[in-house]
Amino acid sequence: MPSWVEAGSHEYSKRMPPELRIETIEIALGARGKNQPASKAIEKESQALLKAIAPQDFVVALDVIGRSLSTEQLASKLADWQMDGRDICLVIGGPDGLSKECLARADMRWSLSDLTLPHPLVRIVLMEQMYRAWSINANHPYHRS
C-alpha cells in the first residue's frame, strides 16, 4: 500500500479504544495476466482469505451489491457487534471481487458506495467510518466536527 494509506490507517487505528483494536491482514493478490483467467486469481485469494477467518468470527464482506449503511446505522451495527463479543472481519476482495465461497461465508454484505473505489481508498474510508461510528456511540465530538 502507498505510504499515505499506511499513515492514514495507523492514524485511525491508534485513535480506536483498546476494546476496538484494529488488525489489518493483507492477503497477496492472485496472479493476473492476459493468459490467466481472473477466476484463478479470485480462487487463490479466496482460499487465503477463508484461512484467515476463524469459524466464530462475524464476517462482513465489502460487496457492491451489499447493503448500504448510513454512518448512524453503522454505529448501531458496531454497538451490536460489540455486544455480540465476536471478532469482526471486514473483508475487502481483490480487483475482481470476492468469490462465491467468501460471500457465502459472510454474515453480512456491505456496500460502501455505488462507485468503484480503489483498494487504498477503501481501506482509509473503512477505518475512518469505524472510528466515526465509535465516536457516535461514545458521544465523542469527532462526529460533529
User: For the chain, what are the domain ranges?
Assistant: 3-9+38-144
CB 31 within 8 A of CB 41: yes
Can you tell me the distance from the alpha carbon of 35 to that of 51, in angstroms, rounded to the nearest whole number? Answer: 27
Kindly indicate the confidence band of residue 95, based on its pLDDT and cuts at 50, 70 and 90: confident
The predicted-structure confidence for 8-54, as pLDDT tens digits, reads as follows 999 999 999 999 999 999 888 887 877 778 888 888 899 999 999 99
CA angle 105, 106, 107 (to 5 degrees): 120
pTM for the structure as a whole: 0.89
Which residue in the block uniquely carries the three cell numbers 468470527?
Answer: 57
Q: What is the mean pLDDT of the chain?
A: 91
**Closest Cα to residue 59, out of 32, 86, 38?**
86
- Which CATH number does the domain 3-9+38-144 belong to among 3.40.1280.10, 3.50.50.60, 3.60.70.12, 3.40.190.10? 3.40.1280.10
Distance of CA 128 to the CA centre of its chain: 11
Provide the residue type at 145 as one letter: S
Among the listed ranges 36-40, 51-55, 88-92, 136-140, which one has the minimum average pLDDT value? 36-40
Distance of CA 79 to the CA centre of its chain: 17
The predicted-structure confidence for 65-82, as pLDDT tens digits, reads as follows 899 999 999 999 999 999
pLDDT of residue 91: 94
Kindly indicate the confidence band of residue 134, based on its pLDDT and cuts at 50, 70 and 90: very high
Can you tell me the distance from the alpha carbon of 21 to that of 19, in angstroms, rounded to the nearest whole number? Answer: 6
pLDDT of residue 143: 63
pLDDT of residue 132: 95
Residue 145 has pLDDT above 60, yes or no: no
Q: How far apart are the first and last CA of the chain?
A: 28
Q: Cell triple for residue 83?
A: 455486544
